[in-house]
Amino acid sequence: MSHRKAVVLVSGGLDSATALAIACAQGFECYALSVDYGQRHEAELSAAVRVAAAIGACEHRVMRVDLAGIGGSALTDPSIAVPETSASGIPVTYVPARNTMLLSLALAWAEVLAAQDIFVGVTAVDYSGYPDCRPEFIEAFAHLANLATKAGVEGKHCRIHAPLIAWSKERIVREGITLGVDYGTTVSCYQADSDGRACGRCDACRLRRAGFEAAGIPDPTRYR
């Protein structure tokens, strides 16, 4: 087994499953990290367990942070409806500071593991316009990581890998299929039911379905 360790953020969705498969294919010993941040679509956490096991993470942990206590997002606050039509601007499904928090937890675990690599499945092409999915954010966080940690100060710099950041959903799906990802185990829907069945109407569902259609690959998503 490789001695190169990487922490991989695994949400249970299509993109993070592909990022985990890429990290494994590159020879990393992968430590999968999922975060229960109070998301309404809890089925994705069950999916994350399946994904981490199926792709071959050597360890999978679920950490808990109460972003629902802060609110401000349709993904954490039941009083805010998940939109089912596209709109201009940053949608209400944006979770304030979510990726900053997720990467911070990954960074902390990476430092304990003496891992210098973190993988995250953000994409800035087929996405919902979230500011924390842009290349500028990833670059800025990498700079912060190497200023804010003992490992960074001692010259053991952390690398943030966002292999999907410039990829379309079509390319992500094609790459994942090539790497053997079973997308039927993943959950992307913002309002999936307790069995993981997707609504087929939210932004995440539309982007996911369009990716499979463009790739010419049957969509394995279970819709309710």
Q: pLDDT means per 10 residues in the chain (224 residues)?
A: 86 98 98 96 95 97 96 95 85 95 98 98 85 96 96 95 97 98 97 94 94 97 94
What are the DSSP calls for 159-182, one per residue?
EEE-TTTT--HHHHHHHHHHTT--
223 domain residue, yes or no: no
The CATH number covering residue 174 comes to: 3.40.50.620
pLDDT digits (tens, 9 = 90+) for 127-167: 778 999 999 999 999 999 999 999 999 999 999 999 999 99
With 0-12 / 13-18 / 19 or more C-beta atoms within 10 angstroms meaning exposed / middle / buried, residue 131 is: exposed
According to the model, what pLDDT value does residue 89 have? 86
220 domain residue, yes or no: no
Report how far residue 212's alpha carbon sits from residue 46's, in angstroms, rounded to the nearest whole number: 22
33 domain residue, yes or no: yes
According to the model, what pLDDT value does residue 136 have? 96
71 domain residue, yes or no: yes
According to the model, what pLDDT value does residue 2 have? 54
Structural domain span for residue 159: 5-215
Token pair listed for 115: 């891992």
222 domain residue, yes or no: no
Domains of the chain: total: 1
169 domain residue, yes or no: yes
HSE-up (13 A, CA, CB side) for residue 27: 3
Token pair listed for 152: 């960074």
According to the model, what pLDDT value does residue 41 have? 87
